[in-house]
Amino acid sequence: MNVVRLSNVKVRYRGGEGLKNVNLLVRNGEFVFLVGPSGAGKSTVLRLIYMAERPADGQVVVGQFNSNAITPKEVPFLRRQLGIIFQDFKLLEDRSVYENVAFTLQVTGAKRKDVKRKVLRALTNVGLSHKRYKMPHELSGGEQQRVAIARALVNDPFILLADEPTGNLDPVTTQGIMALLEKINARGTAVLMATHNYSLFESRPSPRKRVVRIENGMTST
């Protein structure tokens, strides 16, 4: 089953064309690397998937949602089915680890008992349940990224979108984050990871993984 499909997508920006012709397919349970140099359009592709941007031409299909038909009111429902991980973590500095992860559920009106159960499960899955009362500034960079991953997982998404998730981390911590993403993927969650670091997939080959390259606004495999 396909969970994400971009077909002949173009995005135009002032001063030039951002994406000329992007085609991308992510199937259920796949681990796909979207690789290319800085400025190639990797982040734009992810923004198209969670509908922060719309294509000038072509279409983006995510689950049952289509960029040509989705309404503004439907966008939040789409995003609840996605897990999004950023390079700079985007944690709330005035809230604890538990509260950062819980916030994702609380804004949807989830019941308190469900919030507690899901948050503790997500933190256990990333190995941080023992640090649930810590504040973000008390954590290492790798731990902060694990909190961000827990937050992305807490809604049981069918796909994780990871935008340079190891870009600010040292090599040892990077390997730990990659192992965690692989573990999540092995449980059935699709992963689309945007990165300019080719060594991430070259050093960790797997039949489950696939590479899509983006450069000069176009994709290739």
Exposure string for 67-105, b = 16+ CB within 10 A, e = fewer: beebeeeeeeebbebbbbbbbebebeeeebbbbbbbbbb
CATH of 1-80+190-221, one of 3.30.9.10, 3.20.20.140, 3.40.250.10, 3.40.50.300: 3.40.50.300
**Which amino acid, one-letter code, is at 156?**
D
> Residue 39: pLDDT above 90?
no
Which range has the worst mean pLDDT, 24-28, 123-127, 142-146, 197-201?
A: 197-201
Q: What's the pLDDT tens digit per position in 47-98?
A: 999 999 999 999 999 999 999 999 999 999 999 999 999 888 899 999 999 9
**Residue 104 near residue 92 (C-beta atoms within 8 A):** no
